[in-house]
Structure 1
Amino acid sequence: MGARADAEFNTTGSRWLQPVSERLGFPLDQVNFLVCQLFALAAAFWFRLYLSPSHACPLVRHTVATLLGIALLIFCFGCKNIFFLPINTIFNFLHSVTYRYSMVTAMGYLTVCQVSRAFIFNYGILSTDFSGPLMIVTQKITTLAFQLHDGNTEERIVRPSVIEYLSYNLNFLSVLAGPCSNYKDYIDFIEGRHISERLRPHVHLKHVLLSLQSSVCRKLLVCCGCMLFFLVVTRSLPIKYNVDHDFVSHAPFLSRLAYAFFSIQAARPKFYFAWTLADAVNNAAGYGFLGMDENGKPSWDLVRNLNIFGIETATSFKTFIDNWNIRTGIWLKAVCYDRAPKHRLALTFLLSALWHGVYPGYYFTFITAIPITIAARAVRKSVRHHFLGSRGLKLGYDFLTWAATQLAIGYTVMPFLLLAVEPTMVYYRSMYFHVHIISILAAIALNQKHKPRETSATTERFPFSSSCPAPCQPVHSTNNNKKVD
């Protein structure tokens, strides 16, 4: 009862659904979030059918999208917590051409809110709160500011009006769970050019719109599967058990390693659910058309944030992060990796940690990822070519690298879920810091064998979004070279 009381006390949004929360046994803030996303899904269908560009002018579409987004924020987080979100957006609008100023103020404001979160909410407990929308808005503010500064003539981006800026940042399609999309793509969607500019001459619009329905249905089925998995499996494998005193003290190392592996695997579907539902919401409104794939079929993966198959079958650390939180990876590349004069990998991981929040677990995760990424590159360069001589050797190599990748990912992201210093250190000690030690030794040994070459910003491989040719530009969903956070 004490935990439930704390969860209720920390909830600042609407309490209309308190009986539903108690009946289902879920925290009220999570119930509010789910209901708001389902409402956004229904509103997206209405927005596409009854407020389409042929029925409403861009000003009306911008205004409605913005007001619906603000209404969802108020329901989820309360007036007090979201009051400064539109103010922050307007403030950055006034300085959107000054990209450095926008970066500093947006990230600074986000950090202040993250610090407040760590003190207002129970330390070490992750819960839905107003910093989530701020994280998405921070991406959008900085993305647009950098694009305006770069003066990308191909994008033909001009300084937006106030309502366009507010709509881009606060629209109901992405205000709760993202993802960050390209400003020009969003404006094309509002003004009715989003699909027509990507259609091939022989493809009929009716065929594309019919594919939209199947895309939304398919993504909603994935959401249902993820929810079922969460209810049946995830809740039976709590992450906190990895640092349970009795378990750590008495279970053998292999048992602890196995439980960590399966509990991390089981924790992913809740992220799959949130991001896939957000993708479906955008598609339902008619936003997200990428073009025709290599098979000539319409693809609605423009704002896709993850590739579940690519994640679960990843045979390298790089391939895994290529397919996880794709839009954030594109943002990190655009605002940090491509612009840092040196130490780009470390700076990008540190920016990702700062963007996620001030909990120490985030920094443990992203700092740990640095030597692992370097070691993984070195191993692939030194070892992989020896196993390409036969199909059997390649299959065995793929299986071993898959297992190693999944174990390394679990080891790396565990602090991200534990959040606090003490449980993180309990976990690392129980694992004898083995991934840290192995990755550092491998990186030193193999990098001495192969002296690093001087690489330019355009040729060095980026572990987030190397295939993205321009800031926040989408790449095809079937391309596993997408990079993510």
Structure 2
Amino acid sequence: MGRTVTAVITSFCFQMAYLMAGYYFTATENYDIKWTMPHCVLTLKLIGLAIDYYDGRREAKALTSEQQQFAVQGVPSLMEVSGFSYFYGAFMVGPQFSMTQYHKLVRGELTDVPGQRPNSFVPALTRLGLGLFFMVLYTVVAPYIPEEYLVSDAYLEQPFWFRCLYILIWGKTMLYKYVTCWLVTEGVCIITGLGYNGKDDKGRPKWDACANMKVWLFETTPYFTGTISSFNINTNAWVARYIYKRLKFMGNKLLSQAVSLLFLAVWHGLHCGYLVCFQMEFLIVIVERQVINLIQDSPPLATLASITILRPLFYVIQQAVHWMFMGYSLVPFCLFGWEKWLKVYQSIYFIGHALFFTLLFAMPYLRKVLVPRKEKLKKVE
């Protein structure tokens, strides 16, 4: 089909249909390790390759700087596509990278010492060590907070505060298995050179081109958007590059974001829990941004938030709310079937949906009360 829109659409439809068929015929109500896990990674790679190949025929002035960076100019051979698709450091759980980046690796350009192998052993070992640390942490803690307990009668008999606290701790710990996988595979990418990302202002090499985790940000941010920015970075960047930004013609950022999250939900699998999880993410991010803007625009709230002695207290409260509702969103993501996650949500009275939908609808009225008219006029200007 050549470098045509037809090729892009056909590739997208075929790759997604094949993946959906795999999910349909193999999925169970449990978390399964089977061929569909690496295949969902491959699906994104091949869709991205088709789009980058299409961009290779377009005029440079018609492309953004990012699209110019990833556009594939030549015709990749079968060997190149195979190497790109099944690169041992990323084919199982990611990270995502482009064909142009893989070409640079093969040509020996991804190195801090031109003409020689990269000095990446120590940075790679550091990420491996960090990954092993989280692996041990997850292995030790996870047996004490199993997700099966969420749907047990014993859980339902606990007081409301305990049920909420359990979801908070469980959600935080459950994510460490993903953190472990991504840190270890990032170490593999670094040691081959694929993680090389140029040099910083001081001339020191950077090895974060394949980073799927910003560990410090992940552990310290009190914001939902901060967690999203620090978690599964390359997949999020892929969706932003090939889905969200390509929907610019729709003329609505919010709609583009909704479609992108819908794609992510379907890409993860056919269970309804994925849709509920990403719907909650969409809702929480919208409300969080509105709350932040409200605090900044409201003099009383801004003054209260700036009191130094109260900041540690605000931080603790933010973190508790942050991880409670992060765990709340992850319940359907991990329990899959509606009869399971619905049982958990009923046990805590759908507190996440109730709170964030209430804030969403109350925000216009809160702004009327808390934001002076002159501040509103400045915002409009």
> Does TM, normalized by the shorter one, top 0.5?
yes
Query: Contact 2:70/2:98 (CA < 8 Å) preserved in 1?
Result: no
Q: How does 1:435-446 map to 2 (within 5 A)?
A: 435-446=352-363
1:432 is aligned to 2:349: yes
1:369 is aligned to 2:281: yes
1:408-433 residue CA offsets vs partner (Å, 9 max, x unmatched): 10100111111111110011001111
- 2:341 and 2:194 map into 1 onto residues whose CA distance is 40
Match of 1:157 in 2: 72
Letter paired with 1:228: V
Q: 2:281 aligns to what SS in structure 1? A: helix
Deviation at 1:301, TM superposition (A): 1.1
Deviation at 1:296, TM superposition (A): 4.1
Query: Contact 1:311/1:324 (CA < 8 Å) preserved in 2?
Result: yes
1:294-343 residue CA offsets vs partner (Å, 9 max, x unmatched): 55432211111111221122211111111111111011112221122141
Residue among 136, 139, 145 paired with 1:237:
145
1:418-465 residue CA offsets vs partner (Å, 9 max, x unmatched): 1111110011001111111111111122256669xxxxxxxxxxxxxx
1:114-158 residue CA offsets vs partner (Å, 9 max, x unmatched): 11122xxxx321021101111111111111222222344444522
Match of 2:25 in 1: 116
1:384-407 residue CA offsets vs partner (Å, 9 max, x unmatched): 561553433444433322221111
- 1:112 and 1:98 map into 2 onto residues whose CA distance is 21
Residue among 158, 183, 187 paired with 2:103:
187
Letter paired with 1:344: S
Match of 2:127 in 1: 219
- 2:2 and 2:335 map into 1 onto residues whose CA distance is 36
- 1:381 and 1:138 map into 2 onto residues whose CA distance is 38
Q: 2:222 aligns to what SS in structure 1? A: coil
Q: How does 1:308-457 map to 2 (within 5 A)?
A: 308-340=215-247, 341=250, 342=252, 343-384=255-296, 386=302, 387-447=304-364
Residues 376-385 or 232-241, more deviating = 376-385
Q: Structure 1 residues 93, 367: CA separation in 2 closer, same or farther (over 3 Å shift)?
A: farther
Compute the RMSD of aligned alpha carbons.
2.4
Match of 2:82 in 1: 166
Report the TM-score, using the length of structure 2 for normalisation. 0.84
Letter paired with 2:92: L
Letter paired with 1:282: C
Match of 2:14 in 1: 105
Letter paired with 1:218: T
Residues 92-101 or 158-167, more deviating = 92-101
Deviation at 1:367, TM superposition (A): 1.6
Report the TM-score, using the length of structure 1 for normalisation. 0.67
- 2:176 and 2:284 map into 1 onto residues whose CA distance is 24
Match of 1:6 in 2: none
Deviation at 1:184, TM superposition (A): 0.7
- 2:79 and 2:50 map into 1 onto residues whose CA distance is 16
Residue among 93, 96, 112 paired with 1:177:
93
1:291 is aligned to 2:225: no
- 1:95 and 1:162 map into 2 onto residues whose CA distance is 19
Query: Contact 1:291/1:299 (CA < 8 Å) preserved in 2?
Result: yes
- 1:397 and 1:97 map into 2 onto residues whose CA distance is 53
- 1:370 and 1:107 map into 2 onto residues whose CA distance is 22
Deviation at 1:162, TM superposition (A): 1.8
Residues 271-280 or 170-179, more deviating = 170-179
Query: Contact 1:97/1:149 (CA < 8 Å) preserved in 2?
Result: no
Q: Structure 1 residues 363, 404: CA separation in 2 closer, same or farther (over 3 Å shift)?
A: same
- 1:154 and 1:331 map into 2 onto residues whose CA distance is 14
- 1:240 and 1:394 map into 2 onto residues whose CA distance is 37
Structure 1: 4+ residue segments shifted above 4 A = 92-97, 204-208, 447-451
1:240-259 residue CA offsets vs partner (Å, 9 max, x unmatched): 112211221x2000011111
Identical aligned residues as a percent: 23
- 2:135 and 2:295 map into 1 onto residues whose CA distance is 40
Match of 1:477 in 2: none
1:49-106 residue CA offsets vs partner (Å, 9 max, x unmatched): xxxxxxxxxxxxxxxxxxxxxxxxxxxxxxxxxxxxxxxxxxx999897212211111
- 2:150 and 2:233 map into 1 onto residues whose CA distance is 28
Q: 1:144 aligns to what SS in structure 2? A: helix
Identify unmatched segments of 5+ residues in structure 2. 57-66, 369-381
Q: Structure 1 residues 393, 232: CA separation in 2 closer, same or farther (over 3 Å shift)?
A: same
Q: Structure 1 residues 256, 449: CA separation in 2 closer, same or farther (over 3 Å shift)?
A: closer
Q: Structure 1 residues 95, 140: CA separation in 2 closer, same or farther (over 3 Å shift)?
A: farther
How many residues matched?
347
Match of 1:40 in 2: none
Q: 1:298 aligns to what SS in structure 2? A: coil
Q: 1:299 aligns to what SS in structure 2? A: coil
- 2:115 and 2:174 map into 1 onto residues whose CA distance is 39
- 1:207 and 1:447 map into 2 onto residues whose CA distance is 60
Q: 2:96 aligns to what SS in structure 1? A: coil
Match of 2:41 in 1: 136
Letter paired with 1:108: A
Q: 2:118 aligns to what SS in structure 1? A: helix
Greater helix fraction, Structure 1 or Structure 2 = 2
Q: Structure 1 residues 389, 182: CA separation in 2 closer, same or farther (over 3 Å shift)?
A: same
- 1:94 and 1:205 map into 2 onto residues whose CA distance is 33
